[in-house]
Structure formats: C-alpha cells, structure tokens
A and B are shown apart, each in its own frame.
Chain A
C-alpha cells in the first residue's frame, strides 16, 4: 500500500514537473515556433556582407518548408544595423526585450558583435556562429557563444605554412586591413614564420579609405616579397592584385576566406585573380556535394532574383548549420540550458563547412567554443575554376 503511494506521488510529481516544463517555456519558444534573430548590414559601406543575414533567412525558410525543427517553425527576425554598433545594440534590445528571442544566429561585424556580446552573455542567451574569425569571440570563451568561422589567425598560419613549406617561398609579406581582421592575420603569419625561423619581409597596412594601391605595391616590391598575403576586403584585394599586375609585380598572392569567392573576384579583377591561392572555410560555389546542391535549389526557390549565389550568401547557411543541429538534438523540450548542453555534444559535425566540434565549457580552453578549426586551400584557375590544393587542414 505504502509503495503504491510512493509510486503515485512520484508519478504525479513527474507529471507536474513535465507540466511545469511546458508551462515555463523558454523565452522565444512556443509550441509551434522558435524565434531566432540576426543583425546584418543591408546599407552602408559594409552592405556587401549583408548577404550573410539574407542567406540565413533562405536557409530557415527551407527548413520551415521541410517541416521545421521538431515540429517547430523558425520565426526569423533580421534587421539592418548598417554596421553601426549603436544600431546593432538597439535592434538586439528591441527584439530581445520586445518579443523575446531564443537565440541569435551569426551576425556580421566584430565591433557590432562586441557591442552586444556582454548583453547577450549576461542574460545567458545563446549566440551561434558570428560571421567573423576574430579571437574576440573565444578569448575568453563564453558559455553561450559558439564560434563557427575558423580564426583568421589560423588561416594566416595555414597559408603561411603552405607558402613556405610547399611552395618554397622565403620572403613572405602581408598587406593587411588596418583593423582587428588584418591584425589577426599579421599575428598568425608572424607566429608561423617564427616557427620556421623566418620573418615577414613587409607589413603594409591598408586603410579602408585608400583607393590608390601603388604605394602599397611599391613597398611590397621593395621588400622583394615572393609571396604576399592579402588580409583585406575583396575590393582592396582586387585593386592590389590589379595594380601589382600593372606594375609588373607578380608574387604569389594569397588571400583569406573573405576573398574566396572566385567567380566574383575573377570578374572584379578582369581575370587577374588567376593563380591566387585562398583559404576556404566551406564548399566552393560550384561544388557538387549533395548538401550544396540542395542549398542551391533553396536559393533558386526562395531567394530574391537579384541575390547572387556568392560565398557569403551560402555562408549564411553554413554559420547556422551547427545551431540547427543543436536545436534538432535538443528535441521538443527546448530550453537554453539544454540547447547549450546539446551544442557542447556536437562532435565531427559536417555540413557545408569543415568539421565542427565543441566541448563542454572550459574557461581555460578557447577551443571548447571554436567549432571549426580547419580550412583548405584552393587556387584560382582559368575562368574562375578552383583547383583544390590541399585537404582540410588545421594549424599545427
């Protein structure tokens, strides 16, 4: 009799517990929707990167049309912050406090992200896949912030290593955008070269407002660089390579994932992008991988007709794949804590990017929150075709 009573009470309490769980549903989650937000510059000088946020939108639309995640559709809220942190903060606060957002996806811009990082982390709101390979995200690692984009720092290490060890270059130089992005590149390249007993022969800063690249080329030429890393945006990269050609200075140009969109770079340089080696964080635009084919179909179906199938458009898919995977694994009973737990359990996850691993939160281990560590190198060939030079590789 007594045992039966215990049975009943435990059953009742379990029921109550279950009920209470569904009653205190997590912020931004309802029975049928999960609300996810993102910021991205649709206007202003950084607007070309706005494709990331639109890409994520198309990806979510595709998922919703396939039935959503565990019976819930994604309610995606994206806003334009014009790459202005004050606006990023305004938009994040408005959405977070107004309608409640379960978690934030991607988001372009280091400064924009940093202005809301503390806000999100203090409130224990998950944020997955910021669209920049900055060290700021993971040093120190944050429990609720999962980085996806491989570090610019590692990219620089890998490219430098390839230049020195495989191509046998001795005089490596770098032209870098004078900000966080560029400085990470310089640091990575220096580190790798030091390991091989070399130094950068030139470090040429490029300001965002610079349009004339001749002085930069002259400095690189003076240093007799035979391999030059271009840690700049696409327009500057195109101008540097072009001006280099005009001044008959043609070292091995190497660039980052930022300039890995070959068809685009090829047309921007009128074909001079040929032979440039870049690091890639994900599949190439003309990839035949089944997942890429599927995404491309989604692009044709859902995206606006003037939306280009560019690397940073489908990177908007890639940056949030781990988030979707985490949501799937969490199941029906979706809370932020459980979501983070499931994210931490992701090992060897492979979408259109490299392999993604997370580990349980460990304040001293930056890589517990850095999902992707590997990139691969390709070289631009005739007609913007890509030649794969290496397999996925991690810095050593």
Chain B
C-alpha cells in the first residue's frame, strides 16, 4: 500500500497538484453547499461537521497514538457546558468562550492522560469510560451548569453578526472544521505526529529512540480533548439546549465507532467514518418511508415481529454496516478507498 513513502513527500500538505485541485474543488463545494441544498441538509451538515471534528480529535488519540478512549462524551460535555457558562456567566464573546472551553477540556485531557501513561487496552478503556460517566454526574451536581435541568444556549453573536440560522452557523462551523482538519493533517506529518505513531507501534522502542512517552501521550490526550471540547461547544449551539444526560456512554461508543469504521490513523478515514455514521444515525429514522422496502418491512413486522418495535430496524442496519465494513476491511473506509485506488491504477490488469 502506498500509505507512507519517503519523508519529504510525507511532510507536504498537498503531495501533488491533483490533490490541491481536488481540495480547492471541495472547498468550493463546501462554500456553495448551503445554496445548493435545503436548509434541513444544512442542519445535517452541521451535525456531521461536529462529529468530524470529534472523530479527527479522537483519531489523533486512537489511530495515531494507539490509546483507546471510551470517555470522549465527557470531553464533549465539558466543551459544551464550558462554552455556554463562559458566555452567560463570564460574558465572554462566543469565539473566546469556545476556545477557552476547549482549552479547559484540553487540561482535563492532560489530567486523564496521566493515569493513562500506565494503562492500555481494556484497562484504559475502563478508566476513560469511568471518566465519561462521572463527568456528567459532576456537571449535574453543579448549579452553575444548570444541574440536571440543563442550560439554554445564549444568542450567538460574533462581532457585528448575529448567527441565527443554520446557514450562518454552517459557515462558521465549516471554517473551523476545515482549519482544524488541516491543522491535524499538518500535525501528524511533523515530529509530533511521528512520535505518536512511534508510540502506537512500539512504545518501548520509541522511548529508547528518545521519544518522551509522558510528554507525547499526555499531549495526545490533551489535543484530542481540545478538538472534542471545541466540537462540544459548537454542538451546544446546534441543539441550543443541553443537559448532562445527553452526553451518554452511547455517544462515546459512537465516536469510537466512527474512528474505527473510518480507518484508524488517517484523517481522511476519520472524516469518512464520521460522515457515514452520523449521517446514518440521523437519516435511518426515515427507513420506513423508503418505497417498497418500508412497506415490506411493515409486512414482515406484522407477521413475524411486532409493528410497535419496527423502528428498531435502524439499529440492526446500523450494526450490520459496522460489522460488514470491519469484517472485510480492517482499515475501514480508508482501507476500502486505498484498495479501490490501487485497483483503478492498474486497471485493466
């Protein structure tokens, strides 16, 4: 596979003019998207973009550094509550509040990274899972954060602009997402990224080579938390109402699934996984209104299952898609992409 070749090629942001061309096309498409599609799809795009941010952040941790986390909904919650509270209580402007909250999340990420220095595999997953579960309880205890009754997001104002509609928010969100995606891509091509990969592949060997394990492992956690916290702050404005119960374990698991299904250790994979799974997550509810299939499912439910539970077909399908992708391609969607590329490059041989 042509994933990693020589070094100088590796550090370039765009390895070829073709890539740059496609990138510009993508940016153009993203810029025109709200004009081309209905407002509802803009909302869907916002939801997806937030998941993309989380997936990229989580991939830095899971895919590049080889640390597992089942507690990212906790970071997500800190970002969300932090942003709102900084805006309403400390009267920070939105962008400042967003970044401040993300920094706070990064500090939490660093703190979680400390015990993680000694843990791996299932041990680490239980420790992070515990963090994710307890952080929402702690937030629920603090009256400043609205307790268990939640918080309303304030008006979203940046300088002279009032961002009321999904479209306005879309442009803000996409800008942030594109910048952070490029930043992540840059990061993984540099010394830091190589240190992460070295830790993932063999941490003791990396240490012998002079990679400071403590520094890089906690850095990975902090960075990952930063991305997730930022996404959380933005998510609060997509929903406009948040409560601790939203940030459940299921959410953490879905984040992890996005990264793994997309393809570990690849920015493209993280994006692809987040787009696919969060799109499915939102859109599968309409499965019963697909012509023929919906009717057939209803008949099936009436005769063998129960019609009251027919919506659960969503989960079955969702599960199937996850299982199938992972069964046939351990590198997820990214692996599928590479395989298609290779196939077409040598086609018709």
Contacts and interface: CB of A to CB of B under 8 A. Distances in A.
A and B touch in the complex (CB under 8 A): yes
Interface in B306-343: 306-312, 314-315
B240 A81 contact: no
Contacts of B286: 79
Contacts of B306: 304, 306
B282 interface: yes
B148 A304 contact: no
B302 interface: yes
A84 B248 CA distance: 11
Contact of B285 (A91, A115, A304, A306): A91
B93 interface: no
Interface string B56-75: 00000000000000000000
Contacts of A180: 148-150, 243
Interface in A305-331: 306-307
Contacts of A306: 306-308
A115 B149 contact: no
Contacts of A85: 239, 241, 246
Interface stretch (B14-22, B37-45, B113-121, B122-130): B37-45
Nearest to A184: B149
Interface in B216-248: 238-241, 243, 245-246
A208 B302 contact: no
B131 interface: no
Contact of A304 (B140, B239, B282, B307): B307
B140 A178 contact: yes
Interface stretch (A93-101, A156-164, A258-266): A93-101
B150 A87 contact: no
A385 B334 CA distance: 61
B207 to A, nearest CB: 39
Interface of B: 38-40, 43-44, 47, 137, 140, 147-150, 152, 166, 238-241, 243, 245-246, 281-282, 285-286, 302, 306-312, 314-315
* Size category, A interface: 35 or more
Contact of B40 (A43, A79, A90, A183): A90
Interface in A187-224: 207-208
A274 interface: no
Contacts of B147: 183
B149 A183 contact: yes
Contacts of A86: 47, 238-239, 282
Interface of A: 42-43, 47, 50-51, 54, 79-82, 84-87, 89-91, 93-94, 97-98, 111, 114-115, 117-118, 178-180, 182-183, 207-208, 304, 306-307
A173 to B, nearest CB: 19
Given A115-B240, A178-B140, A80 B311 contact: yes
Nearest to B313: A43
Given A118-B240, A306-B306, A43 B314 contact: yes
23 contacts: A42-B308, A42-B311, A47-B309, A54-B308, A80-B314, A82-B285, A85-B239, A85-B246, A86-B47, A86-B282, A87-B282, A89-B43, A90-B43, A91-B285, A111-B150, A114-B152, A179-B245, A180-B150, A183-B148, A208-B245, A304-B308, A306-B306, A307-B307
B49 to A, nearest CB: 13
B282 A90 contact: yes
Nearest to B314: A43
Given A85-B241, A90-B44, A111-B243, 20 more contacts: A42-B310, A43-B311, A47-B309, A51-B308, A80-B314, A84-B246, A87-B281, A87-B285, A89-B238, A89-B239, A90-B47, A98-B40, A114-B152, A115-B240, A178-B140, A179-B148, A179-B243, A180-B150, A183-B147, A306-B307
A94 B307 contact: no
Contacts of B38: 97-98
Contacts of B311: 42-43, 50, 80
A304 B147 CA distance: 40
Contacts of B307: 304, 306-307
Contacts of B245: 111, 179, 208
Contact of A114 (B140, B150, B166): B150
B239 A93 contact: no
Report which residue of A47, A85, A118 has the largest number of chain B beta carbons within 10 angstroms of its beta carbon: A85
Contacts of B243: 111, 179-180
Nearest to B38: A97
Contacts of B150: 111, 114, 180
A342 to B, nearest CB: 30
A81 B246 CA distance: 13
B239 A115 contact: yes
A90 B149 CA distance: 22
A50 B47 CA distance: 24
Contacts of B40: 90, 93-94, 97-98
Contacts of A111: 150, 241, 243, 245-246
